[in-house]
Amino acid sequence: MRDILKKLEALRQVALQGGGEKRIEAHHHKGKLTARERLEVLLDPNSFEEWDMFVEHRCHDFHMENNKIPGDGVVTGYGTIQGRQVFVFSQDFTVFGGSLSETHAEKIAKIMDKALQVGAPVIGLNDSGGARIQEGVESLAGYATIFQRNVLASGVIPQISVIMGPCAGGAVYSPAMTDFIFMVKHSSYMYVTGPDVVKTVTHETVSHEDLGGALTHTQKSGVADLAFENDIEALLEVRRFFEFLPLSNRETPPFKETSDSPDRMDLSLDRLVPMNSSKGYNMKDLLIKVVDEGDFYELQPDFAANIIIGFGRMAGETVGFVANQPLVLAGCLDIDSSRKAARFVRFCDCFSIPLVTFVDVPGFLPGTTQEEDGIIKHGSKLLFAFAEATVPKVTVITRKAYGGAYDVMSSKHLRGDVNFAWPSAEIAVMGARGAVEILFKKDLKNKEKIDAYTQEYGEKFATPFVAASRGYIDDIVLPHTTRMRICRSLKMLKNKIIENPWKKHDNIPL
């Protein structure tokens, strides 16, 4: 027995050392934590239960049989964050560059299978050079086994990817199918083909950072949700973010005690919307003043900034927020903002997170570029997502709600449960001036007549009163009462039950 225990301890020490001291030092020199150090930051102290520490690869080609390290480049298991269970894998770049082998994939698949069975999220810390070339198709098959589990887990358990190093080729598709992607600035990147391949095929010269760095994916492509300065900040922010989420679609998000009264009012909101309807204002001010203790967790703030998405709490309960941003493109909906918000709405609906929508939208962004790139199809994704959602939906129109964009933004006609408007709301087919110029083309040269018609149209239609008279708006509320009215509505809707017709799955306009 003593010999076995000695062998066990020796193997354990080899596994804990990963690729060895030199490679660990090189890793630290780049400002990066090792796979195990990352888990120590992410998880509660002493909560990590590791699986498959002694697993080794089975490759016998290219002299690989003489080069085996216990764990095979990935640390897997489960632990807790703020006492709540989570399954994790952390790729170890010091072992074969974190490359994915058949056994490496099996380890990840094992914890994903168990997470599905017990109903707990999966967080993946990605730091890998890609498929292990020595194993060929077996490595590719390993990726596919992970992809399949990503698909089966979608909408059942939250999946979070943290890109903490390279993530290239087939490796990018697993994070792409997870619910949220976080990156680390200047040390992580994602792309399907690297700079060398790009140069060979297209003759473009591009750096790793420009091709697939954190800023590229948080500002231009929208692939990633947030980018952080370093490993520690990223992991601590994931801990904070995790607190907003339920463990599975069988549970509700955690309740957080707060001293912030649901009846709290904020008189400054009465002055938020400018008197001049063409002047912008910051919708984030409203979000911060409405949520519990001003704690709003925004996602994708630097991509499609004309719409805001994120989580906050109302009376201790997690809520998903979608809001037009008048400071960017006047709050218009375009292709990117529609895709961004639609995916967020669908996530909230998957996991029974109520939706609160703040509306100030003059319409869809016009232009040949938008039409040629498919605004019709992409814009309908957001419409589809709101219409499909069965979670409690509360909508507040703060100012403009024009045309089809009024319908799309969680209107009463898309099964909005409670729809409020501020007195400053303008609900119409289009702005007064534009409407008059269409209706009275023959009088366009008569400025006095056009001005009079514009005023008449505005007084009659560019108000919340017509919509309220038809029951499309449940109440016209004073801005400073917004938090109170939303909290009361969400409390009333807590036990809402509504079901869509049975189907194998829907066919959202992809």
Residues with a catalytic annotation lie at 169-170, 404-405
Buried b (16+ CB within 10 A) or exposed e, 350-376: bbbbbbbbbbbbbbbbeeeebeeeebe
**Residue 79 pairs with which residues in a beta bridge?**
86
Identity of the amino acid at 362 = P
CA-nearest of 110, 353, 139, 138 to 246 is 353
Q: What angle do CA 201, 205, 210 make, to 5 degrees?
A: 110
CA-nearest of 269, 495, 311 to 391 is 495
Structure tokens at 422: 């501020």
CA-nearest of 490, 175, 179, 149 to 345 is 179
Please state, in angstroms and as integers, the Cα–Cα distance from residue 204 to each residue in 191, 194, 195, following that order: 15, 11, 8
For the chain, the residue count is 510
Q: How many CB atoms lie within 10 A of CB 451?
A: 12
Long-range contacts of 252-256 (CB under 8 A, 24+ apart): 252/352, 253/317, 253/318, 253/351, 253/353, 254/84, 254/318, 255/316, 255/317, 256/292, 256/313, 256/316
Tell me if residue 246 falls in helix, strand or coil: coil
φ/ψ of residue 296, rounded to 5: -115, 125
Structure tokens at 214: 């954190």
Element (DSSP H or E) covering residue 410:
none
Beta strand pairing call for 226-228 and 180-184:
parallel
Residues contacting residue 307 through CB under 8 Å, at least 6 positions apart? 322, 323, 324, 325, 331, 333, 337, 340, 341
Residues contacting residue 338 through CB under 8 Å, at least 6 positions apart? 375, 378, 379, 380, 381, 382
Q: CA-to-CA distance for 319 and 11, rounded, in angstroms? A: 47
Tell me if residue 221 falls in helix, strand or coil: coil
Q: CA-to-CA distance for 260 and 336, rounded, in angstroms? A: 35
Buried b (16+ CB within 10 A) or exposed e, 403-431: bebbebbbbbebebbbbbbbebbbbbebb
